[in-house]
Copies of this chain bind each other. A is one copy, B any other.
Amino acid sequence: MRLLEERILADGKVRPGGVLKVDGFLNNMMDMELFQALADQWYEAFQNDGVNKILTIEASGIGLACFAGLAFHCPVLFAQKTTPKHIAGSVYTTRVESFTHGNIYDVIVAKEYLRPEDRVLLIDDFLANGAALDGLCDLVRQAGATLVGAGIAVEKCFQPGGERLRARGLLFQLGQHGRDRGDHHCRRD
């Protein structure tokens, strides 16, 4: 998406080690017009797929997911990285290894909110090694729900997440949307 490309060129900051910081508009301080534009793209890509639930992972995916929820007129569920005491009842659990942060954590969603009849669109800000997206896919599988696809703001193409997701037989096909090189979506075959 040209808007995101332009924003990265204008306000992205390259840190030592080749890290691209987009904290100023994507994943800490968040630009609502950019988010709206991304959600519009995802809606255009998946509007005929019967999406009735958006699933993301806390924390920086939540804002993007909410705009997707607004576009699709459906609820937004976020997977939690720990087990807060106030969640009673049964949950689906999966384990995610974060290469970025160098840790392993459990990710949960309440079973009552992810149902076999759900048609789920995953939303996240980044796809790097794909560990978080793997985890979300696994939660959808455990629930017996239908995985429609995934909308990702930025794929780090130099990291193996996208390729690994395809190679694992998850039947993903990562594509480009129009002239967009920043906004990716994954579609189940």
Contact = CB atoms under 8 A, between A and B. Distances in A.
Interface of A: 15, 19, 21, 23-25, 28-33, 35-36, 58-59, 62-63, 65-67, 69-70, 73-78, 80, 84-88, 100-102, 110, 112-113
Contacts of A100: 85-86
B87 A30 contact: no
A28 B62 contact: no
Contacts of A85: 100-102
A154 to B, nearest CB: 13
A101 B113 CA distance: 22
Contact of A77 (B28, B66, B67, B88): B28
B87 A23 contact: yes
Nearest to A36: B70
A110 B63 contact: no
Contacts of A87: 23, 28
Given A32-B75, A86-B100, A101-B84, A110 B23 contact: yes
Contact of A63 (B15, B63, B74, B102): B63
A59 B36 contact: no
A13 to B, nearest CB: 9
Contacts of A24: 112-113
Contact of A29 (B31, B36, B59, B76): B76
A84 B87 CA distance: 25
Contacts of A74: 32
